[in-house]
Structure 1
Amino acid sequence: MTTLQRDPYDTHDAPGSPGGPVTLDRRDGPYGEVVLRRRGTGDGAVHEIIANGCFLMDTSDGRSERVLVDAALAALPADRAEPAVLIGGLGVGFSLARAAEEPRWGRITVVEREPAVIGWHRAGPLGGISARALADPRTEIVEGDLLGILGHAHASPAARYDALCLDIDNGPDWTVTESNDGLYSPAGLAACRERLTPGGVLAVWSARPSARFEQALRNAGFEGVRTEEIAVARGVPDVVHLGQRAA
């Protein structure tokens, strides 16, 4: 007799009101608890990632995550051939999927510190967004802490990037964990600058504008500092902060 194994992400029989939030997975990760939830069913279902009780992102609208990648590419010198991009944070996969849709990118490296998030993409419901990008030969997923990777890798050509697209917090003024503050400090921004090729671009996603962070980018030696706004349904716009290493 064959015993059918139930898909661990199949929650059709989960209790609760129709369309209400359903917890699909809950894990204790290296930086605390991470939770994957679903709201709604069928084609209208929205998946959410919660870290230590703090809402991070969902699959309802990926415009600003796509702008993060598009703006970085647009800011690069026009003659840059097959630029390499490092995406900080896999999240729900919108930034990675956008990068893989663009044939001009060369290497696409994604750094994600939560094993659970990587698993939700490789063998879970978030694969609907990222499966094609994960199969792209340009894509590499690196499990680890972004600041540690930026600060400790040797400065070989393979360890440098034409663009750094960072989306690991709700913004530089609203970090997920206290340790992430170091990424936006003078030392952290210096590490980002050193990992960029001349003329390379740093793009940082934020849930709200930060004049303080704009000044921090200038103080760290970035040129052409500016902020692109992306309107949202309610509240202040999402933004992408941009700065460029001197050519």
Structure 2
Amino acid sequence: MSSPVTLDRREGPYGEIVLRRRDEHFEIIANGTFLMDTSDGRSERLLIDAARDALPAGRTAPSVLIGGLGVGFSLAHAAADPRWGRIVVVEREAAVIDWHRTGPLAELSAGALADPRSGILHTDLVAHLRTSTETYDALCLDIDNGPDWTVTEDNGSLYSPAGLDACKDRLTPGGVLAVWSAQPSSAFEKSLRNAGFSGVRTEEIRVARGVPDVVHLGVRPA
């Protein structure tokens, strides 16, 4: 594997954000922490599918809010599925949005962004969940390396009792919260149950080395 080539580096309100290319793959680094790359994407796709499959039977054209644009795998996978209705992505980093709209990542997400069901909100996810009055059938959140390994300190509030209450408020009855993590968290499963979510479970995606990536799931009671 070759050394990475930096394509863009910016300082923003949340620190440094970097886009790199290593061979044919792109990487996103935030404040020196590796977030994701384009080498696989199975767990990002599972995030979307697991949320959809956990919805009540018979729900048509469900809406989904995707927390974090990243390299665009979750957005592209949702847009490729005609069963989804409205698809909203919340992304706080202007650089990431630029990389998808006019930069190197456009090759991955151009089709999804052109889909009339799709839209991007340039705002902080935690603030949006607490202040918005919109509701969704599914929340698919992937803004950290997991509840126990946040990119910035402020993100930790998302996984707190108040943050989970805000998530529940943004869900329709029977709606699904799906949270991506680089490792399983039994403490977060307990937090979901304590917050009143039902059907709490964790789905795993095996990786080449180390612990599996997972998606934590919980349902807002009807």
Q: TM-score range with shorter-chain normalisation? A: over 0.9
Cα offset for 1:19?
A: 3.1
The partner residue of 1:176 within 151, 169, 192 is 151
Question: Counterpart in 1 of 2:3?
Answer: 20
Task: Say whether residues 1:51 and 2:30 are aligned partners.
Answer: yes
> SS of the residue aligned with 2:75?
helix
Task: Say whether residues 1:63 and 2:42 are aligned partners.
Answer: yes
* Separation in structure 2 between the aligned mates of residue 201 and residue 141 of structure 1, nearest angstrom: 20
Task: Say whether residues 1:232 and 2:207 are aligned partners.
Answer: yes
Question: Counterpart in 2 of 1:34?
Answer: 17
* Separation in structure 2 between the aligned mates of residue 82 and residue 207 of structure 1, nearest angstrom: 29
* Separation in structure 2 between the aligned mates of residue 35 and residue 81 of structure 1, nearest angstrom: 39
> SS of the residue aligned with 1:176?
coil
RMSD: 0.8
* Separation in structure 2 between the aligned mates of residue 133 and residue 151 of structure 1, nearest angstrom: 27
Where does structure 1 differ by over 2 angstroms across 4 or more consecutive aligned residues? none
Residue deviations 1:34-89 (CA, integer Å, cap 9, x gap): 0000101xxxx110000000000000000000000000000001110110000000
* Separation in structure 2 between the aligned mates of residue 49 and residue 91 of structure 1, nearest angstrom: 8
> SS of the residue aligned with 2:20?
strand
* Separation in structure 1 between the aligned mates of residue 185 and residue 22 of structure 2, nearest angstrom: 31
Question: Counterpart in 2 of 1:204?
Answer: 179
* Separation in structure 2 between the aligned mates of residue 223 and residue 166 of structure 1, nearest angstrom: 18
Question: Normalising to structure 2: TM-score of the pair?
Answer: 0.99
> SS of the residue aligned with 1:229?
strand
* Separation in structure 2 between the aligned mates of residue 82 and residue 30 of structure 1, nearest angstrom: 36
Q: Which runs of 5+ in 1 are unaligned?
A: 1-17
Question: Counterpart in 2 of 1:12?
Answer: none
* Separation in structure 2 between the aligned mates of residue 19 and residue 52 of structure 1, nearest angstrom: 22
> SS of the residue aligned with 1:91?
coil
The partner residue of 2:56 within 46, 53, 77 is 77
Task: Say whether residues 1:242 and 2:217 are aligned partners.
Answer: yes
Relative contact order higher in (CA < 8 Å, ≥ 6 apart): 2
Task: Say whether residues 1:152 and 2:131 are aligned partners.
Answer: yes
Q: How many residues align?
A: 222
* Separation in structure 2 between the aligned mates of residue 30 and residue 79 of structure 1, nearest angstrom: 42
Residue deviations 1:142-167 (CA, integer Å, cap 9, x gap): 0000111111112xxxx100000000
* Separation in structure 1 between the aligned mates of residue 195 and residue 212 of structure 2, nearest angstrom: 25
> SS of the residue aligned with 1:224?
strand
> SS of the residue aligned with 2:173?
strand
Question: Counterpart in 1 of 2:196?
Answer: 221
